[in-house]
Amino acid sequence: MDKWIILIVSILMLTGCRPAVSEENHLRLLFFTDKAMGQEAEIEQFLAEQVKLNKTIDVSIYPLSREKFSVLLAERAGDVYVAEPGLVEGLLTQNGLTPLDELMPVSAYPFVQEHYITNNKTGERHLYGLPLQTDQSAFAHLDLAIPEEMTIIVPSFSQNKKESLRALQALIN
């Protein structure tokens, strides 16, 4: 019996010590929506054509679930998280997100002024959640079942921030 307990504890410790899922040679985009299940390949192909990266683009689509979102965020499983606005609104005022101001500055996109948020910890005002109107973005040209409004965040732990921003630029144009 003691051998089994030691084995189980060892396995749990090893899995808990594994590195973040987001690897340097992969750009991981995680979508959280009930509408686009099974359309990962189309999004991956579109991004691969639009954004020439020296990395593999991995898209995963999960059902809309606060629990799944929280678990994958805690595991640092992705570089870019795309979710319906209600799922990420609580994160926007917290530390730990990459500012996305350079992608949608107020001077070029006045409608984003309302999306600029003051970070509670730093007091800085930035665009932490990029609003994505799918009917006015790259998704409008694809035959995908994506909700009309999505919010994109890039956690500060992402190892692929530069590539993430390039992929986001392709999505909003």
Confidence check: pLDDT of 64 > 50: yes
pTM for the full predicted model: 0.81
> Residue 127 gets which letter from DSSP?
-
Residue spans of beta strands (DSSP E) within 33-135: 56-62, 80-83, 117-118, 125-126, 130-133
pLDDT digits (tens, 9 = 90+) for 76-89: 999 999 998 889 98
More confident residue, 72 or 7: 72
Residues 6+ apart with CB under 8 A from 119: 93, 94, 95, 125, 126, 128
Q: What is the DSSP letter of 36?
A: -
Question: What's the pLDDT at 18?
Answer: 45
The average pLDDT across 49-59 equals 87
What's the pLDDT tens digit per position in 136-170? Answer: 666 666 666 677 788 999 999 999 999 999 888 88
